[in-house]
């Protein structure tokens, strides 16, 4: 279901005198939906799981690299693979709607979107940005374009693809100022912004001082198979305030599966 359909189900249930428990269901129900705020999950690999935790396969470096091997010679152990248990987090919020507005499915859908789903995604984005920051080695650059190019080179030299540039919203104006004055900017339908040196641009709502370049294959956005879940409660506050409660739970996690696919920098004064 999309948010409009969820709003219609809730409206019908309230008119029939009952509450609702509705799951948007599919793994792309929130991630990747254009009507909602974009997050890093829109660019990462996506998966769903049935439980509240899962084991992520994490790629780690080793002391040797893949190379030419003579006939009969031992092969180098080029990477390490390990299982990392990851717990899903719950991003939840509540909105209220007066009973007089119960006939408007659009009003219900708007409340779910503006007060709940959008804010849940922005809370999720904070953890996603923190996961990327924790996986990268801090660097500095004298300009944003130089830093982006250097980060892209770091990924390319390690065999990763620099598919996305994540820019904090607070720095976006400065980055755009450099891009407009210099080369490298392009358009791409996969990003509402465009590209810088071929990497899709994501403007992040999370507060940060770092610009991050990452390989989409190096990050995994996981959502519970029943997430997001929307619940309507027309009973609890009906007598005292004539109010319906709407609750949304987004159960999800963001994990970096290959730190070699992430590079970040801050701009020096």
pLDDT digits (tens, 9 = 90+) for 192-231: 778 999 999 999 999 999 999 999 999 999 988 888 888 8
Percent of the chain predicted with pLDDT > 90: 40
Percent of the chain predicted with pLDDT > 70: 86
* Whether the predicted pLDDT of 49 surpasses 50: yes
Give the mean model confidence (pLDDT) for residues 71-92: 83
Domains of the chain: 3-59+92-267 (3.90.1690)
The CA-CA-CA angle for residues 104, 34, 51, to 5°, reads 85
CA-to-CA distance for 90 and 111, rounded, in angstroms? Answer: 19
* Whether the predicted pLDDT of 44 surpasses 80: yes
Average pLDDT, the chain: 84
pLDDT tens digits for 158-180? Answer: 889 999 999 999 999 999 888 87
Give the mean model confidence (pLDDT) for residues 63-89: 80
* Per-residue pLDDT at 65: 73
* Per-residue pLDDT at 151: 97
CA-to-CA distance for 69 and 256, rounded, in angstroms? Answer: 31
Cβ atoms within 10 Å, residue 90: 14
* Whether the predicted pLDDT of 38 surpasses 60: yes
By the 8 A CB rule, do 232 and 103 touch?
A: no
Positive or negative torsion for Cα 145, 147, 150, 155: negative
By the 8 A CB rule, do 30 and 36 touch?
A: yes
* Band (12; pLDDT cuts 50, 70, 90): confident
Give 242 or 91, the one with higher predicted confidence.
Answer: 91
């Amino acid at each position: 279901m999309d948010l409009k359909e969820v709003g219609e189900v809730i409206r019908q249930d309230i008119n029939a005198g009952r509450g609702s428990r509705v799951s948007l269901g599919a793994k792309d129900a929130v991630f990747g939906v254009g009507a909602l705020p974009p997050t890093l999950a829109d660019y990462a690999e996506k998966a769903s799981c049935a439980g509240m935790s899962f084991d992520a396969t994490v790629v780690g470096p080793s002391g040797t690299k893949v190379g030419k091997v003579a006939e009969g010679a031992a092969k180098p152990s080029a990477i390490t693979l390990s299982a990392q248990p990851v717990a899903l987090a719950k991003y939840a919020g509540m909105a209220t709607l007066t009973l007089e507005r119960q006939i408007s499915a659009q009003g219900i859908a708007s409340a779910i979107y503006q007060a709940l789903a959008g804010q849940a995604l922005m809370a999720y984005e904070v953890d996603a940005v923190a996961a990327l920051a924790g996986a990268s080695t801090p660097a500095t650059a004298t300009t944003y374009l130089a830093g982006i190019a250097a980060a892209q080179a770091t990924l390319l030299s390690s065999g990763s693809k620099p598919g996305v540039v994540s820019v904090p919203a607070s720095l976006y104006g400065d980055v755009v100022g450099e891009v407009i004055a210099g080369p490298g900017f392009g358009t791409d339908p996969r990003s509402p912004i465009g590209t810088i040196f071929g990497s899709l641009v994501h403007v992040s709502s999370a507060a940060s001082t770092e610009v991050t370049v990452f390989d989409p294959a190096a990050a995994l956005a996981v959502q519970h198979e029943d997430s997001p879940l929307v619940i309507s409660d027309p009973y609890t506050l009906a007598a005292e305030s004539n109010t319906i409660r709407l609750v949304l739970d987004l159960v999800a996690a963001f994990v970096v599966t290959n730190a070699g696919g992430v590079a970040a920098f801050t701009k020096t004064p």
